[in-house]
């Protein structure tokens, strides 16, 4: 997937490729706003990729994606940081890195290449979930407003579509990432008091009330993302991060409603985050739950 979205001409090359889609004429296959049409015969569609450039219906409340090319989340280092301004002089920082112009341009360029839906790098819902000290976070209105530049720029890009509309705006979702015991800072928390082999900092066990507060932080982050113009959120539930730490018995040794041998209890955190996010954001908002099946 990464190789498909490295520059603005990537999807254009795919659209013009006879190997992927033989039915596109040279006058209609482009990412310049023109309509895309099959030459009239379904037999011209390459059997290996028959649906790649057809719309994907996400339901009446959300609408359709113009194609099925999705760019997964990657850590780009463009998500900004959350260092308080009063600390910047102490750190000799020449730039506070809260301007997300580079992040906006990065995703707009991928949208120009024809990617219909993109997911940002991980952004924490609270300080405990930081990847590292003062990493990107979305928990305040000030942080929300910085992201509007990103969503406005992405939505300004029109993607050619085979659907009822000749073009559709590109879409973008914010990934909500709580690192749990993977955090590289002394405020790390997890399902139980354990230490990750990739971090020198032992994690403190979240109390039951802390778990409920964390759920509220996830929901707050999603609401702020919606207000910032994001089309949805991806809740990071895999790769060993916090939600995954609750799902797995090795890292979840709790005895309350969020742990134990009962898998229903261990998945309660994930279920409540998704349920409460849907309640708060409504059905016109994309919710992706990232789950690794290996």
Q: pLDDT tens digit string along 270-289?
A: 999 999 999 999 999 999 99
| pLDDT for residue 29 is more than 60 | no
Rounded Cα distance between 60 and 36, Å, is 23
Higher pLDDT, 52 or 204: 204
Catalytic residue chosen out of the listed positions 106, 182, 230, 241: 241
What's the mean pLDDT in 4-15?
A: 45
Q: What are phi and psi of 45, to 5 degrees?
A: -80, 130
CB neighbours of 89 closer than 8 A, spacing ≥ 6?
none
**pTM for this entry:** 0.83
What's the mean pLDDT in 212-227?
A: 98
| pLDDT for residue 229 is more than 90 | yes
Rounded Cα distance between 262 and 101, Å, is 46
Q: What are phi and psi of 292, to 5 degrees?
A: -90, 130
Q: pLDDT tens digits for 129-188?
A: 999 888 899 999 999 999 999 999 999 999 998 777 889 999 999 999 999 999 999 999
Q: What is the DSSP letter of 171?
A: E
Nearest CA among 227, 221, 255 for reference residue 125:
221
49 is catalytic: no
CB neighbours of 11 closer than 8 A, spacing ≥ 6?
4, 5, 31, 69, 113, 114, 115
Rounded Cα distance between 253 and 137, Å, is 28
């Amino acid at each position: 997937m990464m190789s498909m979205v490295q520059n603005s001409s990537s999807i254009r090359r795919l659209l013009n490729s006879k190997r992927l889609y033989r039915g596109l004429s040279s006058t209609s296959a482009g990412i310049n706003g023109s309509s895309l049409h099959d030459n009239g015969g379904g037999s011209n569609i390459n059997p290996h990729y028959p649906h790649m450039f057809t719309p994907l219906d996400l339901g009446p409340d959300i609408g359709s994606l113009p194609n099925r090319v999705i760019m997964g989340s990657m850590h780009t280092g463009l998500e900004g940081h959350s260092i308080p301004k009063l600390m910047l002089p102490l750190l000799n920082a020449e730039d506070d890195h809260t301007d997300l112009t580079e992040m906006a341009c990065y995703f707009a360029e991928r949208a120009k290449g024809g990617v219909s839906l993109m997911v940002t790098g991980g952004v924490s819902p609270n300080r405990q979930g930081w990847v590292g000290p003062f990493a990107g976070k979305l928990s305040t209105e000030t942080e929300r407003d910085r992201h509007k530049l990103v969503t406005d720029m992405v939505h300004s890009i029109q993607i050619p579509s085979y659907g009822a509309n000749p073009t559709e705006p590109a879409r973008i979702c914010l990934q909500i990432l709580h690192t749990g015991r993977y955090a590289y800072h002394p405020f790390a928390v997890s399902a139980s008091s354990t230490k990750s082999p990739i971090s020198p900092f032992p994690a403190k066990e979240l109390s039951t009330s802390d778990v409920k507060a964390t759920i509220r932080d996830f929901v707050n982050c999603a609401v702020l993302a919606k207000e910032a113009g994001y089309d949805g959120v991806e809740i990071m539930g895999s790769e060993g991060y916090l939600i995954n730490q609750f799902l797995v018995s090795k890292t979840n040794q709790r005895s309350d409603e969020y742990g134990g041998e009962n898998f229903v209890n261990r998945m309660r955190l994930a279920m409540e985050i998704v349920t409460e996010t849907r309640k708060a954001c409504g059905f016109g908002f994309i919710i992706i739950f990232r789950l690794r099946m290996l």
